[in-house]
Amino acid sequence: MKKVITRFAPSPTGTLHIGGVRTALFNYVYAKQNDGLFLIRIEDTDRERSTKKYEKDILDNLSSIGLSPDQKPINQSERNEIYTKAAEKIVESGNAYWCDCSPEELDKMRNEQTAAGIKPMYDGRSRNLGLERSEKTVLRLATPEDGDIIVNDIIRGEIKFNNNELDDLILLRSDGTPTYHLCNVVDDYEQNVTTVIRGEDHISNTPRQIHIQNALGYPELEYAHLPLVLGTDKKRLSKRNAATSLKEYREKGYLDSAILNTLARLGWSKGDKEIFYLNDLIKDFDIKEVQKAGAIFDISKLDWLNSQHLANLSLEDFKNQLEPFLEKLNISINDHHDVDLLIQSMRTSDNTYSGIAESLIPYYREIESYDEKAITKFIKDKSILNSLKDIFVNIDNWNESSIDIVLKEFQTQNELSVPAVNQPIRIALTGSTKSPSLGLTLAIFGKEKSIERVENLLSYV
RNA sequence: GUCCCGUUCGUCUAGAGGCCUAGGACACCGGGUUUUCAUCCCGGCAACAGGGGUUCGACUCCCCUACGGGAUGCCA
């Protein structure tokens, strides 16, 4: 059996899109589970829109998320000769012809066709003219006029196209450069690709590409057309309806593993299992089980999955990955006397790193503002805080359990409700009523800092 | 317009003719733990697009309609 080779073939006209990450992921996983190769090919034949900057973004992001190719990526823009040679071969075999129709003429033709209610497509008017190559001619594939072509899709089964639905596509532009279809087919062959896994927007391109393969005498490929990732408006995910670039999600503090997990579960599932790491996917994923219908990308599922992946991290890993997010807030993670206790207590405060970093601010910096509503609700007068301050000063063994005991005593002796005692302290320490359990929070801040913050609040109100 | 692909809870999905009183997860709502917040636990809400067949029996098979998406470029 032939070694399975898959490829991800982005065109560098934008940053890496999460839909693209999913396509790359499925290609990667399929290759790995078949002990094959995963390749990347940069389809930069559109010189106007392709940029090196986007190419770098795509390559960097893919490898940092763990989807590195097994060979150095190739650029189509550097392989012109190969395509030209293939085109010549098609001309020689009589399966292509030169056409001198101008863009204006074609435009007019399409308009007329549309007006007449028929499918706009090139009518083959230059096909039998026997034109020679010139500066005004494009090379067109002579597509068989009748019969049909069957695409065998791993996910969808047989898809039949009538050859008369297909027009004679352009292989070489008038400036001599090759087009997408030609390059794509030639490179899949040159790279020994066995399996094409791509978005379903390519389904109708497939029969055209098969015709090119046939003209060139290339062997058949295996195809799997993935359902598209959709936005909440059910249209394909784009900048208009969602954050699409992988980078944005990473910068928000979503874990790579959680992003991959979410993407894999979009259009695919395995029993009741929800948590998948890359290794699990290589074990459990089955391309045949992929859904046929497009799937809406739901950020709340990502949020939940992220919280699950975050919870699975060791404290060390958690801290390491959190660090850059704190740095963005000009906070150095070790600028605290008991970092481990702090982070351990706060790691579930949000489901993204950026959110967690945000909620950590009061633990690293002085309080800039108090939650006024909380103050009016819980601080009627200063007496309770004053007494608590005196009590704190006298606690020698400053740890969670002893603090809790002291607080409990104070509360019962003075016949106060729990919130009457606890909330003012929370406000003093964090500026709001949100914090871990009280004794723990006080322990996190330490005796000195706790007293200082109670004093600060006392002088504020 | 034409061709192609699709259609199960709000969302991701399970479901290969009887196992379906349609299951799970997220979200949402309610309750419990945390005397706060988050986590966690428990419970609830909620779907087979519509119509025809086929069959003793259809979420499952066939046809039609509707709706959605994709393609129809000297873009990829």
- Interhelix angle A383-393/A418-430, rounded to 10 degrees, is 70
Distance A153 CA to B9 C1' (A): 30
Confidence of residue A124 (pLDDT cuts 50, 70, 90): confident
Mean pLDDT of A139-157: 92
Task: Tell me the pLDDT of chain A averaged across its residues.
Answer: 93
- For residues A176 and A81, give the distance between their C-alpha atoms in angstroms, rounded to a whole number: 11
Q: Which nucleotide's C1' sits nearest to the alpha carbon of A122?
A: B72
Distance A16 CA to B38 C1' (A): 33
Q: What is the pLDDT of residue A234?
A: 86
Chain B bases near protein Cβ (<7 Å):
1-8, 10-14, 23-28, 34-40, 68-76
Has residue A244 got a pLDDT over 90? no
Has residue A240 got a pLDDT over 80? no
Mean pLDDT of A6-29: 95
> Tell me: the pLDDT tens digits for A258-283?
999 999 999 999 999 999 999 999 99
Angle at alpha carbon of residue A41, lines to A38 and A47, rounded to 5°: 170
Q: What is the pLDDT of residue A243?
A: 82
> Tell me: the pLDDT tens digits for A342-395?
999 999 999 999 999 999 999 999 998 999 989 998 988 888 999 999 999 999
> Tell me: the pLDDT tens digits for A298-311?
999 999 999 999 99
Closest residue, by C-alpha, to the C1' of B11: A298
Residue written as token pair 């559109």: A46
Q: What is the pLDDT of residue A155?
A: 94
Mean pLDDT of A52-71: 95
Has residue A193 got a pLDDT over 90? yes
Distance A6 CA to B39 C1' (A): 41
Tokens of A290: 């992929």
Closest residue, by C-alpha, to the C1' of B72: A120
Mean pLDDT of A209-231: 95
Closest residue, by C-alpha, to the C1' of B71: A204
Distance A271 CA to B21 C1' (A): 22
Confidence of residue A48 (pLDDT cuts 50, 70, 90): confident
Q: What is the pLDDT of residue A116?
A: 81
Closest residue, by C-alpha, to the C1' of B37: A434
**DSSP SS3 for A433:** coil
Mean pLDDT of A219-245: 88
> Tell me: the pLDDT tens digits for A386-444?
999 999 999 988 999 899 999 999 998 998 888 999 999 999 999 999 999 999 999 99
Q: Which nucleotide's C1' sits nearest to the alpha carbon of A441?
A: B36
Q: What is the pLDDT of residue A218?
A: 95
Mean pLDDT of A2-29: 94
Q: Using an 8 Å Cβ cutoff, are A112 and A141 in contact?
A: no
> Tell me: the pLDDT tens digits for A151-164?
999 999 999 999 98
Greatest CA span in chain A, whole angstroms?
106
pTM of structure: 0.94
Known catalytic residues of A are 239
Distance A233 CA to B66 C1' (A): 19
Distance A285 CA to B52 C1' (A): 39
Mean pLDDT of A311-337: 96
Q: What percentage of chain A carries pLDDT values higher than 70?
A: 100
Angle at alpha carbon of residue A235, lines to A230 and A240, rounded to 5°: 95
Q: What is the pLDDT of residue A362?
A: 96
Q: Which nucleotide's C1' sits nearest to the alpha carbon of A46?
A: B75
Q: Using an 8 Å Cβ cutoff, are A319 and A343 in contact?
A: yes
E-only strand ranges, A100-156: 138-141, 148-153
Has residue A1 got a pLDDT over 80? no
Has residue A219 got a pLDDT over 90? yes
Closest residue, by C-alpha, to the C1' of B69: A235
Distance A149 CA to B66 C1' (A): 29
Q: Which nucleotide's C1' sits nearest to the alpha carbon of A13?
A: B76
Mean pLDDT of A282-292: 95
Q: Which of A259, A288, A74, A269 is nearest to A195 (CA)?
A: A288
Q: Which nucleotide's C1' sits nearest to the alpha carbon of A48?
A: B75
Confidence of residue A236 (pLDDT cuts 50, 70, 90): confident
Higher pLDDT, A239 or A231: A231
